[in-house]
Amino acid sequence: MTASGATWRNWARTESVRPLRVERPATAGAVQRAIASAAASGLRIKPVGSGHSFTGIAVAPGVQLDLTDLQGVVDADVATGRVALAAGTRLHRLPALLAPYGFALANMGDIDRQTIAGATSTGTHGTGLAFGGLATQIAGARLVTGNGELLTVSEAEHSDLLPAIRLGLGALGVLVELTLQLVPRYVLHAVERPEPLGDVLDGWIDRVRRADHFEFYWFPHTDAALTKTNTRLPGDAPREPLGRVSRWVDDELLANGAYRAICALGRLAPGTTPRFARLVERLSGGRDFTDFSPSVFTTHRSVRFREMEYAVPLEAVPDAFREVRALIERKGWRISFPIEVRAAASDENWLSTAYGRETGYIAVHRYFREDPTEYFAAVEEIMRGFDGRPHWGKMHTQTAETLRELYPRFDDFLRVRDELDPERRFANPYLDRVLGA
């Protein structure tokens, strides 16, 4: 335990807090003691991962639990493909940790800095219509509840709680261990190329149904979409990875270094943004490579930004996207960051943005030194018109009252919360807003 004089900030610099104290537990027992101590002091307590949520979901004004020391493989069953991981394990460590067992995550997002508990608890997802978000890969969990009990949830124990625990927003307890259902290590053949935006939108449904993983980016003020199509291959398939120099030029020099300069200049001189967007469009040439899945799914991003993402019914994506494009043109805004569009399978986790429906995701961004308020609010209004559900870890303005209309099992989740955290030991202002105080 340490007294805290330091201010914690998330990666996007949208949230900050100075906790009363910080604790760094290394075992489940230490988590239990920290929760008991917080309760005795009448304080709320929150775990924090890597701070990659754009919302205040991990903000801890009282006691902050830093789970850095809860990392690594706890147990592995080669026969079933199930691996138990400590909750603070970073996603970028998984390739090395899982390699001895020949396993991989069935799907991933494009950022791997998060902890496994933080990524699943906020609904992190990748793309691919046959694959759910990361939380769908959870087969079991161990968490410490509000009364200090170490609870095991699995298909054999308290299985009725799994649909709530898998994506619990940090509201049900402190996760200390997650058991994932993994798949044999596999290779992805990646094809990235610019295509006419109109053609991509017209072919959206066919593209996402035909490909293992399909997504696209669109830079406002241009007429092309950068498409990314990944095809799954066996783990022993021949690999032709990007060369080290080629990857550095594309992902570091251009995507981070040059793009940071473009965003900074666009903030000072917004009129230059369309010109640079068209330059980026021309520089975004095709890439065709084959590598192990984590090297294809993930991208290093050092340019800070703010993000809002909405999940809409899969078939609504083209119309919702066109409305956003028309909005930007009508308002005359100069937007330097691309819009990202992905897809995911329907799932049965109660607070999943893909609960009960095949889902498309539309994400909008702004450079972190620009005010996103007006842009995000207008896009949010469009998404709500399509029954959109906001990503729990990304910026939005919805409340428990409006979210209840979007999630058929919302009140069932609240009943589990009443059972596991009746004193609201794990609450904070963000959870008070989205779940009710």
In this prediction, residues 395-418 reach a mean pLDDT of 98
Residue 416 belongs to a domain: no
Residue 299 has what pLDDT?
86
Residue 3 has what pLDDT?
52
275 vs 217, residue with greater confidence? 217
Residue 45 has what pLDDT?
98
Q: Which token pair is 277?
A: 């967007």
Nearest to 169 by CA among 403, 339, 360, 358: 403
Query: Residue 198 CA to chain centroid, in angstroms?
Result: 27
Residue 337 maps to which CATH number?
3.40.462.10
Residue 415 belongs to a domain: no
Dist. CA 195–CA 193, nearest whole Å: 6
Residue 402 belongs to a domain: no
Q: Are residues 151 and 194 in the same domain?
A: no
Domain boundary among 348, 370, 390: 390
Dist. CA 376–CA 365, nearest whole Å: 8
Q: Are residues 207 and 221 in the same domain?
A: yes
Residue 11 maps to which CATH number?
3.30.43.10
CB atoms within 10 A of CB 268: 8
Q: Are residues 150 and 212 in the same domain?
A: no
Residue 280 has what pLDDT?
67
Average pLDDT over the chain, rounded to an integer:
93
Q: Are residues 52 and 78 in the same domain?
A: no
Residue 406 belongs to a domain: no
Residue owning tokens 């950022």: 111
CB atoms within 10 A of CB 2: 12
Q: Are residues 91 and 32 in the same domain?
A: no
Dist. CA 333–CA 220, nearest whole Å: 9
Residue 244 has what pLDDT?
73
Q: Are residues 251 and 134 in the same domain?
A: no
DSSP 141-202: EEEE-TTS-EEEEESSSSGGGHHHHTT-TT-S-EEEEEEEE-EE-EEEEEEEEEEEHHHHHH
Interval 66-118: pLDDT, tens = 999 999 999 999 999 999 999 999 999 999 999 999 999 999 999 999 999 99
pLDDT-derived band at 336, boundaries 50, 70, 90: confident
Give the chain's domain count.
3
Q: Are residues 17 and 105 in the same domain?
A: no
pLDDT-derived band at 281, boundaries 50, 70, 90: low
Domain boundary among 169, 184, 199: 184
Nearest to 55 by CA among 306, 377, 400, 395: 395
Q: Are residues 267 and 338 in the same domain?
A: yes
pLDDT-derived band at 257, boundaries 50, 70, 90: low
Interval 19-73: pLDDT, tens = 999 999 999 999 999 999 999 999 999 999 999 999 999 999 999 999 999 999 9
Residue 254 has what pLDDT?
55
Q: Are residues 41 and 125 in the same domain?
A: no
Q: Which token pair is 205?
A: 């449904």
Q: Are residues 197 and 301 in the same domain?
A: yes
Tell me the residue range of the domain where 95 lies.
Answer: 73-184
pLDDT at 1 over 60: no
Query: Residue 235 CA to chain centroid, in angstroms?
Result: 26
Residue 281 belongs to a domain: yes
Residue 173 belongs to a domain: yes
Residue 278 belongs to a domain: yes
Contact 138, 113 (CB under 8 A): no
Residue 87 maps to which CATH number?
3.30.465.10
In this prediction, residues 181-200 reach a mean pLDDT of 97
- Cα dihedral sign, 178-181-183-189: negative
Residue 176 has what pLDDT?
98
Contact 277, 336 (CB under 8 A): yes
Nearest to 356 by CA among 413, 410, 414, 407: 407
Report the range of poorest mean pLDDT among 78-92, 133-147, 215-229, 238-252.
238-252
Residue 381 belongs to a domain: yes
pTM score, two decimals? 0.94
Nearest to 111 by CA among 430, 396, 398, 393: 393
In this prediction, residues 163-183 reach a mean pLDDT of 98
Taking the alpha carbons at both ends of the chain, their separation in whole angstroms is: 28
Q: Are residues 248 and 364 in the same domain?
A: yes
Residue 265 has what pLDDT?
65
Q: Are residues 337 and 238 in the same domain?
A: yes
Residue 54 has what pLDDT?
96
Q: Which token pair is 199?
A: 């053609």
pLDDT above 90 coverage of the chain, percent: 85
Residue 267 has what pLDDT?
73
Domain boundary among 167, 184, 201: 184
pLDDT-derived band at 127, boundaries 50, 70, 90: very high
258 vs 398, residue with greater confidence? 398
pLDDT at 256 over 60: no
Residue owning tokens 């995701």: 361
Report the range of poorest mean pLDDT among 29-33, 49-53, 231-235, 245-249.
245-249
